[in-house]
Structure 1
Amino acid sequence: MAHSHEVRVRRAYEEPGPGDGARVLVDRIWPRGVSKDRAGLDEWCKSIAPSTELRKWYAHDPARFEEFARRYRAELDEPERAAALEHLRDLAERGPLTLITATKHVDISEATVLTTLLQVQTRNHRP
């Protein structure tokens, strides 16, 4: 069985930490005011981000988070996003993974939805 490593979320405006492992930006839009050097990213996985329509509908309204999470999980079944999720799962099985977002409230962000999915998937995945 694959070993599950820690998956966490950090804001793009925080300094990279020594235990971050692979740092992957999961936003569709580059974080305003953050240089590529300062971000310390290993990759930018734009294809995993929610659709523009869903992102605009949600607008980080806490009252809409549960419905946002449901709709986003449905979007993750689309082929391009499903492949990106599989890639993130593979990274999580190799070592610590930190999902990077510019979102101010990470606890109600797509990165948190992804973290929950990745933690469940890596625990249940059989090679």
Structure 2
Amino acid sequence: MAARAASSCCRVAAARRFLLARKKKALEAGTRKKLAGAKQKQGMPTSRRRRLEVIRRKIRALRTLVPRASNGELQDRQDRHSRLDELLLHSADYILSLQMQVQVMQFMVHVLNPKD
């Protein structure tokens, strides 16, 4: 009788473990579904996300090209917009300075090479 009680106790424990594991999987799956649904409902469309990622990549590339524009990232959204404005202004200044350097070098070549 004791063996029978022990085996039924083991069966009950095994059944509980099985049910708990099943509930846990169901909860995890439900959570994943809820998260996926929340991302789709609250998130932006995939095409817009792709466009934004392309823009972010281009901004990162511009930061690497323009001196004085490679400072750390800021978290606040307004700061990011002002940082983008600042980056574009630095880029415009840098382009103008490069154009001026080219003009000065062309002038120097013209003055030092009087054959033309």
What TM-score do the two structures reach when normalised by structure 1? 0.23
Query: Which structure features the higher share of helix residues?
Result: 2
Higher relative contact order (CA 8 A, sep 6+): 1
Query: Which structure features the higher share of strand residues?
Result: 1
Higher Cα Rg, which structure: 2
What TM-score do the two structures reach when normalised by structure 2? 0.25
